[in-house]
Amino acid sequence: MKQFVSYGYENQFHVHPSVKVLFRDAGHILGSANVSLEIKENNKTIRLSFTGDIGRPNRPILRDPVPMPAADYIICESTYGDKEHQSAPNELNTLRDIIHHVCVEKRGKLIIPAFSVGRTQELIYMMDQLSNAGELPSIPVYVDSPLAVNATDIFAAHPECFDEETFKYLMYDSNPFGFNNLNYVREIRQSKRLNSYKNASVIISASGMANAGRVKHHLFNNIENPKNGVLIVGYCTPNSPGGILRAGGKEVNLFGQTKQVNAEVFVMDSFSAHGDRKEMTAFLSNQKSVAKKIFLVHGEIERQTSFKGYLQDNGFIHTEIDIPRLGDEVEING
């Protein structure tokens, strides 16, 4: 860790006499950045940029993603290159209705696999809003992930990274990550105790794809009970337990055992921290007349192919769009 040096956004710096770097806020998770390089070689300057994960505008807590400066070559993510997310205005009501249905009407547990950084904090923040509005049922909510607990502490310590809406909310509620009945679980003993807890509750636990971490234990112990529910709040690889659940699978393998999926499964893609195809295209819009080539990465081939066509249909007619394969090498000469 002693070897790390931190640089803020919008502060161009040299990593080599011929290479300058600029970070801009990617709006994806706390501290995320896109990266823009200016490389001088053979009396030429090449501008190479990497989007990293492109965040979403108008999302809770974090500021909107900031477009990169004009670039000659761009490496671009494509996670949701073939789809558009559910609109945000229904999000809070949908979450409220799912919690009410599972935990009040059915008196069951709602298990939410969620990534520890970003997704978990959004869920807590939205439940905090529901609690302040008197719309969150009086049931315990558990955040069962040591990393998520630590990450939430870091979020709370950095309000300077919040967007304007969250700043205004802080004037009303100084702790957007804490409300009555919210419990942060660190110890493994506490986590195991939740498996035998029979009362209605919400359990948020990592990992988001349910392929590792404590959430696998919660699914193992609760997936076969029809009173319970599972809420998937983002992308999952198709063969992961989360991917099987969101695709409507009737059984799932956990710890070497086949479990019947009797719990109700809900999907809310609006929670995704990745921009959809419209949002990614809007983020790239300032590059239409300047970018020579865009390399699409970080996405399934079907989504990359769809996003390539979508970009071409939406103004990127003079930009070559390439989908590199694993192991491909590209030489850039200017």
Q: List the domains of the chain with CATH numbers.
A: 13-83+274-322 (3.60.15.10), 88-271 (3.40.50.10890)
Q: What is the pLDDT of residue 198?
A: 87
Q: What is the pLDDT of residue 196?
A: 83
Q: What is the pLDDT of residue 134?
A: 94
Strand-strand pairing, 44-50 and 201-205: unpaired
Give the DSSP letter of residue 172.
H
Q: What is the pLDDT of residues 283-328, one digit of tens each?
A: 999 999 999 999 999 999 999 999 999 999 999 999 999 999 999 9
Q: What is the pLDDT of residue 195?
A: 87
Q: What is the pLDDT of residue 174?
A: 86
Determine the Cα–Cα distance for residues 26 and 67; give it in Å rounded to an integer. 8
The backbone torsions φ and ψ at residue 190, rounded to the nearest 5 degrees and listed phi first, read -65, -40
In the predicted structure, residue 334 carries a pLDDT above the cut 80: no
Q: What is the pLDDT of residue 159?
A: 87
Q: What is the pLDDT of residue 85?
A: 82
| Percent of the chain's residues with pLDDT above 90 | 78
Q: Which of 79, 185, 118 is nearest to 126 (CA)?
A: 118
Outline where DSSP puts E strands in 165-305. 182-185, 201-205, 229-232, 251-254, 257-260, 264-267, 293-297
Q: What is the pLDDT of residues 142-159, one digit of tens each?
A: 999 988 989 999 998 888
In the predicted structure, residue 88 carries a pLDDT above the cut 70: no
Q: Cα dist. 90→54, 93, 136, 256 in Å?
A: 22, 5, 16, 38
In the predicted structure, residue 271 carries a pLDDT above the cut 90: no
Q: What is the pLDDT of residues 15-62, one digit of tens each?
A: 999 999 999 999 999 999 999 999 999 899 999 999 999 999 988 899
Task: Give the DSSP per-residue string, 192-231.
Answer: HHHHT--S-EEEEES-TTSSSSTHHHHHHHHTT-TT-EEE
Q: What is the pLDDT of residue 179?
A: 92
| Percent of the chain's residues with pLDDT above 70 | 99
Residues in a beta bridge with 35: 23, 50
pLDDT band at 90 (very low <50, low <70, confident <90, very high): confident
In the predicted structure, residue 89 carries a pLDDT above the cut 60: no
Determine the Cα–Cα distance for residues 125 and 147; give it in Å rounded to an integer. 17
Q: Encoding tokens for residue 151?
A: 């990450």
Strand-strand pairing, 201-205 and 109-113: parallel
In the predicted structure, residue 211 carries a pLDDT above the cut 70: yes
Q: What is the pLDDT of residue 63?
A: 93
Determine the Cα–Cα distance for residues 161 and 220; give it in Å rounded to an integer. 37
Q: What is the mean pLDDT of residues 280-284?
A: 98
Determine the Cα–Cα distance for residues 268 and 232; give it in Å rounded to an integer. 6
In the predicted structure, residue 11 carries a pLDDT above the cut 80: yes
As a whole number, the mean pLDDT across the chain is 93
Q: What is the pLDDT of residue 138?
A: 94
Which of 123-132, 169-178, 205-214 is the least confident region? 169-178
Q: Is 209 within 8 Å of 241 (Cβ atoms)?
A: yes
pTM across the whole model: 0.83
Tally of CB atoms within 10 A around 174: 10
Neighbour order of strands in the sheet with 293-297: 13-16, 19-25, 33-41, 44-50, 73-77, 293-297, 320-322
Determine the Cα–Cα distance for residues 228 and 121; give it in Å rounded to an integer. 23
Q: What is the pLDDT of residues 97-112, one digit of tens each?
A: 999 999 999 999 999 9
